[in-house]
Amino acid sequence: MAVAAAASRRDAAPAGDGAVMLGDAEFRFLREFVYEHCGIALGEHKRQLVQGRLARRLRALRLPDYAAYCTLLRDDPDGELGELASAISTNVTAFFREPHHYELLERELLPQWLQRKRRDGDRLRIWSAGCSSGEEPYALAMVLAEALERHGAAGVDAKILATDLSPQALEAARNGVYPLDRLGGVSEERRHRWMLRGAGEYEGYACVHPRLRELVTVQPLNLLHDWPMRGPFDAIFCRNVVIYFDQPTKQRLFRRYAALLPAGGHLFLGHSESLHGISDDFELIGRTVYRKRA
């Protein structure tokens, strides 16, 4: 491991404070590395942001400078990739963010899917791609669990796949424990039903109900690498993820999404995202909601 190999340098010079500058060569390497492995295009205007965000990684790893960090990435790219992606991207999420998406699921899509799947014996699959700390997949699980009960479809094989690249985000999603002030988007009725209030050392926190955990599978995944799942998915949520990608990367990603969706399958994007000029595989049917063309 590069971390072990660099131990002597760290012990000698545990730097990584604000005085350490990100040099031209190191920034060029980081830009190329991040684009190749994460699909994120970093312009020159992001240099100060990258320097500030990665200063924390230097301190955590006790590395003396950015050159040592680049060496670590060269020697062990997979070992640090998730931490790097977490550092340079901004994970903003919330329960029931962009509520019109959940309303469409509850009002139209889930009733249609469940009626068909009960009849044909098919499974139901939803993918939360870029799930961050888990609020999105657990909000989806609340809506799905309620729909299964409401439509007498408890026997339908229904699951939600939640994936992300960030180790910290994945740990939070697996834990399913959230401060009470993060539950603002959850109705009072759903809080009582689906969130278990903590006590003692968990005072001020709430944990998702075991039923929601049964519906959600949390896995690490780099969207640019190979995908182990083969689909098909009924819906893919990829919200506020592609804002970091350039046009060619977006085009490749949405072709891959289209391959995992049947004709009529749905793709949900973030409020500032669009497929205009990127993909002809989908038609817009609502606010940032797309349906795969036949």
Give catalytic residue positions.
53, 164
DSSP secondary structure string for all residues of the chain: -HHHHTHHHHHH----STT----HHHHHHHHHHHHHHH-B---GGGHHHHHHHHHHHHHHHT-SSHHHHHHHHHH-HHHHHHHHHHHHS-----TTSSHHHHHHIIIIIHHHHHHHHHHHT--EEEEEET-TTTHHHHHHHHHHHHHHHHTT-TTS-EEEEEEES-HHHHHHHHHTEEEGGG-TTS-HHHHHHHEEEP-GGGTTEEEE-HHHHHHEEEEE--TTS--S-----SEEEE-SSGGGB-HHHHHHHHHHHHHHS-TT-EEEE-TT---TTT-SSEEEEETTEEEE--
**Burial environment of residue 108 by CB neighbours within 10 A (0 to 12, 13 to 18, 19 or more):** exposed
